[in-house]
Structure formats: C-alpha cells, structure tokens
Structure 1
Amino acid sequence: MAANSGVLITHTMLTSQPSSTLVIGINIADGCNMWSSNSHGVGVCGVNGLCNTSSRNQTRLECKCPPNFSYLDPDNIYLGCKSDLEAQQYLSDAPEATEFEFTDLWNTDWKNEDYEWFKYMDEVQCKENCLKDYSCAVAQYDAYGCYKKSLPLRFGISGTDVDKKTFIKVRKSNPKNIGRKLFLVGSAILLGIACILLIVVVLLVAHLRHTYKKSPMDMSRPNLKEFTYKELVCATKNFEEELGRGSFGVVYKGLLPSDPPTAIAVKKLQLLNDGEREFQSEVHSIGQIRHNNLVKLIGFCDEGSNRMLIYEYMSKGSLSNFIRVGDERLDWDVRAKLALGIAKGLQYLHEDCNPPVLHCDIKPANILLDDKFVAKISDFGVSKLLVADRTRTTTFCRGTPGYMAPEWTRGEQITSKVDVYSFGVLLLEIIFCRVGIVQQTVNDIWTDKMNEVLEQLKEQLVNDMGNAGDKATIQIMQKFVEVAVACLQVDPSVRPTMRDVAYLLACAIPVPAPTSTNTISTPGTSNSMATPGQRMTLYIDQSSQRDINTH
C-alpha cells in the first residue's frame, strides 16, 4: 500500500497481523523544485523564502530565510520571509550607491523572472550595476551572466546542486548615524512625556468630532459603497469566475442583486505590504476620480485581512484581446477612437487631478473596453500620487518591461513623462496591431536615430496596409506614428505632455474636415513632439490652432 502527499511519499507493507502495518521506507520527493510552470504562486517556502534541496531531514522540507530577512510567521515557516532592512526603492529620497553593500550567498537561486539580464558581465560589474539601480534588490551571477531581481522574491531554493552566487543589497551601517538616531530617540521620548497631556486632550476632541461627523477617510470616498465579505462571496459565487491576475491580486466577475443584475469586477488583494499600499492608494485616489476613460471604482471591502476593490465590469475585456494581425483586428476608426480616449484619460490623471496621478504601468492589459468600445484605463496598483507642489517623484512605482521609459533603468527621478513614453509604445501597437514592435527598434530609439525610425515605421505602415486602406486613412495613420515616435524620445524633457498628445491626435482625425495646413516647429529644448531638425505637418482647422508649447 502506498500514499503520496505530493512531497512526502511513504511505503507500507501489510504484516501477518491483520490490524497493523510496518513502515519500510520514507523518501522526500523533489518538493523544492515543485514550482508552477506558469509562474503563479510564490513557491514551497513562500515569498522571499529558501527551500533547502540538500537537507538531511527525511520527514519534512526545510525552509529558511536569507540574511537580513525573518519569517512572516515563526510558527509557520512555509509562509515566507520579510525584509528586516529598509529597501532602497521605497526610500523617500533617492540614496547614493555608496550607501549600500552586498551580503554574498553561495548556491542559492530564486526562480522568478529576472527583470534584466546581462550576458557579458563579470561579477564586479554585476554588483556595480545593481548598486546603481534603485529597483535592484538582489543580483545573481553564474557562468551565463548577471541577473537582476526586485522584491518580492519567489520560488527560492538553496543547496549544493545550485550553481548560482547571490548578492543581497543591504544598507551600510554607520556609527555616526547610530549615535544621531539615539539622540533623536531620546529627544522624542522627552518631548512625548512633556506633551502627553496635550495628546490626551487632542484624542478626546477627535473622538467627539468623530461621533458627529464623518471621518476624513469616509469623506475621501465619495459615493463608494462598503461591501461586506459575505456580500462579495455571494456576488462572485465564492470567487468562481476569474477574469485575470494583476500585480497585487486576482480579479473575479460578480453580479449584484438588482433589477436587472449589475455585473461587477472584484479585485481581491494579496496580503502583502505592497497590496496594502495599493489598497490605500486606489481607495483614496480613484474613489474621487470620475472620467469617461477611467474605470469607475464602485466600492470596497475592508474586513480584517479581506481587502477588495469593486469596479464596474468591462464586457469586452482588455485591449490585449484586440491587438492582433489579420481579419479579426479592429477597424482603424475604432482604433483611432481608442487611442484618443486613452490619451484623454492620461491627460485627466496628469493635469486635472489634485494632486496629479501617475499610472506608471500603461500597457494593453491595463486598458479595458466597454460594450461600445470606449477605452477605460484600469489598474492603478503601481500608481502613486505626486506630492503636492512637486512635479517629480521617486522611483517608488515600476512598470512592465517593454513599456518602461529609459529613465527607469538609469535610476533617475521620474515625471509624468514616463506615462507619455509608455503611451507611445501602446500607440504603435494599436496602429500596427502588433505587440513588441518598439522592441525591434529600441536600440535606434535610444541612440537618437529618431528620424530613421520614423521613416522606417511609415514605410512599414504602407507595406502592411497594401490595398486595404485608402490614401487619406494611411496619411492619418502616419500622423499617429509621428505622435507615437515623439513620445518615445530618450530625453523626457522633450517629450510632449499628454495634453499635447491628445490635441495632436484629435487634430489628425479629419472631424470636421480639414480646411488648411499648418506646421508645428520643434525647438530642441521645449516640450515639443519631434526631434531637432524634424518638422511634423498636421491638418488642423485654422480656428482651432493653438501653440502646444505653452503647456
């Protein structure tokens, strides 16, 4: 008789006694390497954990935490580990690379995807590259090159059969800083003692005000319904139909009891710190935002560990389903309307919200379509509200490789122009109905060969269209290509704003019919839409002409 639990295999044999069995062997299967091929989950030992493939323990898998990490729950080592140190990318001020060092680990690996890989790079160069990258938490090196990873880490293993060397980034200790911290702590304690009576009074006043007025949190959630967990279990039939997976959670379809029933999308957030940050960001910011090209937040659930966001349901799914080559692709008029709608949605986030909102992850999967093919921007899971009276933000949020502006990889502070770059990538994919088209020309784009790239894309557009499109349509599509390439400029200061982009796209669409031809010149130091020496002609109604460089 044999029983297999998936990790522990036991073999038993019947003895001469009918009521007893004899254990003749216990073996540990290769549980450490049993990780999902579709990259869902976090591995046997949880987030940031390491599973020991060389353990001598023959009855259970051995999980441990890397240096400067500790168990999320010491009583359950399989839940994973949390960092004991302050991660570089979450600091309020971008630190210098000299403030960090590495803890070296031999024979370890985390099998989640590397966000960057360098084939020809030695160990020293690998460390230096990671130190200069604010998003790099772990670097790995082996015979095939250098790999960079960001937190959280998944599918960790360690053992003599693992041939990778790992470097974990930690902040250097400084005796002067320790002394300064002790002084500040002592001062804070004295100040706290002196002000304790005042604090008690403030708390009492706050309690009385809370009795008669809504809390600030309630006031920042206008027209949002607070759902109970039980209501959402019923609406989703115990979370039966999965619509998709995002950075911080899974989205399920549900139906609210009404006449007729109202379809909703329920985003169930994971129980990680980043998920909590996302929850606060979305409830506080999106709850106040109303725009035709943004997915509407209907309500939320906040019951202990159950945190969920409830959105309006988009019947056509994401734009990813429609970016394809062939007879099934959308008509050009529909694609042009989608592009303009996305641009207007981003313009609203950047210029009409107070404070402005960066999305930081514009891509086809985050553009949803309703039954009338109206584009709506979704998933603000990696967004961040800009600090009031500032136009720049630190590298807190990240995007998706292939859609990320070059300033991400350079570790620079970012502006709303990172969304402009991502939109440029998305716009080309909408025009050509093809994913990854920018990656084919990224080397030319990032080496300032913009004129050559523009002409190549225009020629490719004509070849792709063939006899399928009339001359006027092709000219309009080429204008869209010009706008897209302008968004992809390496220097963020010369990219157009989303207001400029929305204006230029609207002008390129001949509604109403054009009456004259005007030319937009492009000084090299302004927020223009073309590279130096390049002029872009748009067919614009003379009565609607404006100077786009005033924004």
Structure 2
Amino acid sequence: MVNAVCGAYGLCSSNDNETVNCECLPSYVFLDPSNPTKGCHPETMINFCADLSTGNSRVEAIKDSDMPYNEVGDYEIYRDIDEEGCKKVVMEDCYAMAASLFNRTCYKKRTPILNARKTSMTKGSISFIKVPINSAKDGIPTKKKSNTRAHLTAGLITSSSLAVLFGALALYYHPAPRRLVRREWNPNSSRIGINFREFTYKELHEATNGFSKQLGKGASAKVYFGNLNLKDVQVEIAVKRMADVAEKSEKVFMTELRIIGRTHHKNLVKLLGFCIEDNHFLLVYELMKNGALSEFLFKEEMLPTWSHRTEMALGIARGLLYLHEECDTPIIHCDIKPQNVLLDSKYNAKISDFGLSKLLKKDQTRTDTCARGTVGYLAPEWLRNAPITPKVDIFSFGVMLLEITCGRRHIELSRVEEESEDDEGDDLLLVNWVAGCVRSGRIDKLARRDPEVLNDVQRLERFVKVGLW
C-alpha cells in the first residue's frame, strides 16, 4: 500500500484499471489545483473546540473508504461500535478530526490526515470527517437568510445613494477632468521604523550584474548573487527580489523588512539593506555560501556528519529561543522548515525568510491569524483555527529535528523497505517510522549504521525524544 499519494487531506480513489484520482476530503480545497498531489487545506477555518454547544460542526460519512491505521494518527480505538456510535465519538471530541469504521471498530484520527483512500479494497468501510456547518450548504433557516438578505439590500441602497451624492459634490467643486495617476509609495527607512541602508535600484542592478546569477527562488521572490562595495570593502550579497509585486507580495515584503529589522542574532540571517523604488521591492542580505539546509541535508551522495548535524540543530534552537523569548517583541516565524534555514561559509545554521511571521505585543502570548506555513510542518492549531502561540514553531522544529537526526525527509513517497532479517519494515512518514523504532526499542536503526552516531547514543535518544514530543 502506498500512502499520501494525494497529500494531506486528499482522498485517493482508484479503479481496477489502476488509474489514480485525487480529490479533497469534504470541506477542503486543493492547495494547488494544477497539482492535486500537493494536498488540500480547509475551505473554511473554524475552531471546533470554541464551544461545543453552538452546533458549529457536523460529521460527514464517506462510504466504502478508509484511512488506514497508523501508529501516530490513531489516538483512540473503540471496539464493537456501530456507525452512529463512531460518529458520536468524533463529535464529542473537539480535537478529533476524523475516524474510520471497519468491522465494528472505530479508529479516531488526529491531524493531519494523510492517507484517505477509496478503492475496491475498502468496500464496507466508512470514513467520517468533521466539517463546519456552512449556511449555504447545510440549511440555515430561511428566515435568517431572508433577514441577512434584507439587511444587505438596505446597506447596498444606502451605499449607492451616498456614492451618487458624493459624486455630484465632487463634480460640482472639481468640474475639470483629472487624469488618474498610480500612487507611488517610496517610504524611507525612518518612516517604516528601521535603520538600514536604503539602496537605489541602479546600485543593486549593477551589483548583481543585471540580476544574472540566480541563487534560488520561492513562491513570491527570486534570490540573486551580487558583489557590493560597502565602506570601501567588497561584500558578497544575496538580493531577494519580489517576483510579482501584487498586494500580497508587497505585504510579505514589508513583514519581512519590519520583523528582521528588529532582530540581531548570530543564528538569524543578517539584513544589510533594502530598496523600494517605483515597482521594485528588494532586500539585501549577507550571502550564505552553503545554501539551504535542505540541500545540504538531503544530498544523495553523503549524509553530513553527526557533529555537523547536532551543531546545526542547536543553532536553530538558539535562533528560535531568541525570537520567542529574548526579543523585545516576541516573533512567531510560522514557517520553520529546512528550506528556510541557510548555512554560511562555516556551516553555521541561520533562520531566514520572515515573510509569513507574526509579531506579538509585549503583553500578548497568542494571536489569531489565518493558516500559514508548509504542509507537513503545520501544527494542529492551524487546522483547528485555535489561537496561535510560539508553540507552532516548536512543532515545526520537532519535525525538522527528526529530519536532521535521521537524515531523511518528513515524507518520502518513493520510500522502500530495507531488506534485512531483523528489520520491522519502514514507513512513508518519518514520524511514524521514528515512533515505531522507539516503541520497539530499536533506536539504533535511526543511526543508519553510522559509527559516530552509535558512539553518541544518549544524544541521539535525546534528540529523537525532543522531536517526537
């Protein structure tokens, strides 16, 4: 059986011709409609634990489907139970997102749901998924709809009347036609509350030789190599250029600029300056010569040494401690993963990419915000619409710590079982595999026959336990 083909919250269905189709579980939509295998996210965010008495959710059944058993996903099992009983245990537990019923056994699921499937082998099984009650779909009383529509209509009429009135006044006092001009926004460093050098676009264009050497790219930006003269010293730099400056990209840019402008720590990437000119938005960083941790960690040729990996893990932990507890204003990164950790010339790990981060007020310990981050590293709070705290970063760090410790990605669709007599089998999901090794007392399997790791079993065990916690 191959799991998670359709990603998190995807439903994999196949027929006898062995063709596979991916769709989303009820109340979820594709992260990327052009690539269904990337998984799905909630269409409507809701806190199922906010108030169980409000009736804000229901349980939907998917006939002839299941969510196969795994050691981490199934946190409670009920035997000799019928369909209504299985539905009830899901509804009564605000932290339960789903359940599978097979042979009168109900397996209650925690997030994320990675292997929902509907095939010829799942006949007779039933899956249950908790979904929010949507007024458009689930029959909110007609009277309420009518009241809402009446209020909306009245509001539109009032707004239209005011618009006509203000339009008439504008024409009366300013009869001459005026040409519409695009608002240009050119804040300087003092106006946006930071103290960094502000470069001109021409300076950075010349420093990067016309943005000719690309170092990497993300969803909203590309990064280029450059060479800049700062105080008569030639400095190698990385220039992050927003690829498409729409409103969302501009917001990401300003968030990163403001947040990293408040920080100074050896395990955070150093910002040297910025450029906001016309439609150009650029950030200038110190060059991290050894690239992203993901590239270094998952090389096919050779796994980095154990001492290298432990130092990187500790460096990232120090950076997170600084963000969460040592800044004047606590910062939640919101997207901790190996791709957002960069390595300098001495392989020191530094946290980067603060475009999704959130600032907390001095007296604030939690905040409400929409889901953000990367599937596989997302803490359960994001999917329950619960208040967000720095713990979401700790959850992501735990997943990444297991990746660093074991030298393996958190999910590998092409994973094959190791062939050995005493091997108890491998698992597609890193967390499942590690948990199974710990439970069976075979933590040595995680060392991958590396003598350096086997000679440091106590630290290996500590890293693994912290990662699982």
TM-score interval (norm. to shorter): 0.5 to 0.7
Q: CA deviation at 1:240?
A: 0.8
Q: 1:311 maps to which residue?
A: 285
Q: CA deviation at 1:464?
A: 3.8
Q: 1:497 maps to which residue?
A: none
Q: CA deviation at 1:289?
A: 0.7
Superposed CA offset, 1:157-180 (max 9, x none): xxxxxxxxxxxxxx9992465489
Residue 394 and residue 219 in structure 1: after superposition, are their counterparts in 2 closer, same or farther (change >3 A)? closer
- Say yes or no: does 1:257 pair with 2:229: yes
Q: Which amino acid aligns with 1:241?
A: K
Q: 2:370 maps to which residue?
A: 396
**In 2, Cα distance between equivalents of 1:381 and 1:404:** 16
Pairing of 1:405-420 with structure 2 (within 5 A): 405-420=379-394
Residue 172 and residue 225 in structure 1: after superposition, are their counterparts in 2 closer, same or farther (change >3 A)? farther
- Say yes or no: does 1:244 pair with 2:212: no
Query: Of 204, 224, 239, which residue of structure 2 is paired with 1:266?
Result: 239
Q: CA deviation at 1:475?
A: 2.0
**In 2, Cα distance between equivalents of 1:343 and 1:254:** 30
Question: Which segment drifts farther, 413-422 or 402-411?
Answer: 402-411
Q: CA deviation at 1:428?
A: 0.8
Pairing of 1:195-210 with structure 2 (within 5 A): none
- Say yes or no: does 1:300 pair with 2:283: no
Residue 236 and residue 130 in structure 1: after superposition, are their counterparts in 2 closer, same or farther (change >3 A)? farther
**In 1, Cα distance between equivalents of 2:221 and 2:201:** 16
Higher relative contact order, chain-length normalized (CA < 8 Å, sep 6+): 2
Q: CA deviation at 1:481?
A: 0.7
Identity score, percent = 37
**Which SS does the other structure have where 2:239 is aligned?**
strand
Q: CA deviation at 1:331?
A: 1.6
**Which SS does the other structure have where 1:174 is aligned?**
helix
**Which SS does the other structure have where 1:278 is aligned?**
helix
User: Is the radius of gyration larger for structure 1 or structure 2?
Assistant: 1
- Say yes or no: does 1:474 pair with 2:457: yes
Residue 326 and residue 245 in structure 1: after superposition, are their counterparts in 2 closer, same or farther (change >3 A)? closer
**In 1, Cα distance between equivalents of 2:280 and 2:189:** 22
Q: 2:409 maps to which residue?
A: 435
Please give the TM-score of this superposition, normalised by the length of structure 2: 0.57
Q: CA deviation at 1:216?
A: 8.5
**In 2, Cα distance between equivalents of 1:228 and 1:405:** 40
Residue 452 and residue 462 in structure 1: after superposition, are their counterparts in 2 closer, same or farther (change >3 A)? closer
Query: Of 226, 230, 235, which residue of structure 1 is paired with 2:202?
Result: 230
Residue 463 and residue 297 in structure 1: after superposition, are their counterparts in 2 closer, same or farther (change >3 A)? closer
Q: 2:325 maps to which residue?
A: 351
The answer to whether the 8 A contact 1:316-1:371 is kept is yes
Q: Which amino acid aligns with 2:235?
A: T
The answer to whether the 8 A contact 1:383-1:397 is kept is no
Q: 2:334 maps to which residue?
A: 360
**Which SS does the other structure have where 1:253 is aligned?**
strand
Q: 1:454 maps to which residue?
A: 438
Q: Which amino acid aligns with 1:404?
A: L
**In 1, Cα distance between equivalents of 2:370 and 2:352:** 19
Pairing of 1:130-149 with structure 2 (within 5 A): none
Q: CA deviation at 1:332?
A: 1.2
Unaligned runs of 5+ in 1: 1-47, 51-86, 100-114, 134-170, 190-213, 487-551
The answer to whether the 8 A contact 1:424-1:484 is kept is yes
Residue 236 and residue 131 in structure 1: after superposition, are their counterparts in 2 closer, same or farther (change >3 A)? farther
Residue 49 and residue 483 in structure 1: after superposition, are their counterparts in 2 closer, same or farther (change >3 A)? closer
**Which SS does the other structure have where 1:349 is aligned?**
helix
Q: 2:97 maps to which residue?
A: none
Q: Which amino acid aligns with 2:218?
A: G
**In 2, Cα distance between equivalents of 1:172 and 1:362:** 46
**Which SS does the other structure have where 2:377 is aligned?**
coil
Q: CA deviation at 1:412?
A: 2.8
Residue 467 and residue 182 in structure 1: after superposition, are their counterparts in 2 closer, same or farther (change >3 A)? closer
Please give the TM-score of this superposition, normalised by the length of structure 1: 0.49
Q: 2:312 maps to which residue?
A: 338
Residue 454 and residue 408 in structure 1: after superposition, are their counterparts in 2 closer, same or farther (change >3 A)? farther
Equivalent residue pairs, number: 316
Q: Which amino acid aligns with 1:234?
A: E
The answer to whether the 8 A contact 1:382-1:397 is kept is no
- Say yes or no: does 1:372 pair with 2:356: no
Residue 451 and residue 331 in structure 1: after superposition, are their counterparts in 2 closer, same or farther (change >3 A)? closer
**Which SS does the other structure have where 1:469 is aligned?**
helix
Q: Which amino acid aligns with 1:474?
A: V
Residue 294 and residue 357 in structure 1: after superposition, are their counterparts in 2 closer, same or farther (change >3 A)? same
**Which SS does the other structure have where 1:308 is aligned?**
strand
Q: CA deviation at 1:220?
A: 1.7
**In 2, Cα distance between equivalents of 1:406 and 1:227:** 41
**In 2, Cα distance between equivalents of 1:256 and 1:178:** 57
